[in-house]
């Protein structure tokens, strides 16, 4: 399997490296790596949801919850299903906190990669 060509815009079309039109068929994974309240239905922003869980569950259990949430929200079987639908793109919204800590700005977290 060859590496996919970089896509670009040509006029009103998205084309591949050879100029052939590409139809984008995709889905979004909102609410996985960024708690988007318009998708999840939870009131408030992500930091507020996290604070509430810390308060109710305690920091250790809340951290365990979020680790498992990331692990099981989207799995290999979900990717297989998306592929079976003929999708060729997926929108993944990322929250910076996966890559950087507020208390240590501009230092990348190795576990985010």
pTM summary value: 0.71
**86 vs 98, residue with greater confidence:** 86
| Cβ atoms 87, 79 nearer than 8 A | no
**What pLDDT digit, counting tens, does each position of 64-84 carry?**
999 999 999 999 999 999 999
Q: Give helix 46-57 / helix 59-73 axis angle, nearest 10°.
A: 130
State the Cα–Cα distance between residues 11 and 6, nearest whole angstrom: 16
CB under 8 Å, gap of 24 or more: what pairs does 5-9 form?
Answer: none
pLDDT of residue 4: 63
State the Cα–Cα distance between residues 62 and 52, nearest whole angstrom: 9
């Amino acid at each position: 399997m060859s590496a996919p060509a970089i896509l670009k815009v040509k006029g009103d079309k998205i084309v591949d490296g050879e100029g052939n039109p590409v139809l984008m068929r995709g889905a979004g994974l909102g609410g996985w790596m960024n708690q988007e309240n318009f998708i999840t239905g939870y009131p408030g922003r992500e930091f507020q949801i996290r604070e509430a869980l810390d308060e109710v569950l305690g920091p250790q259990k809340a951290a365990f919850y979020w680790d498992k949430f990331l692990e099981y929200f989207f799995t290999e079987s979900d990717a297989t299903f998306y592929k079976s639908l003929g999708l060729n793109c997926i929108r993944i919204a990322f929250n910076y906190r996966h890559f950087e800590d507020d208390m240590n700005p501009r230092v990348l977290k190795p576990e985010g990669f």
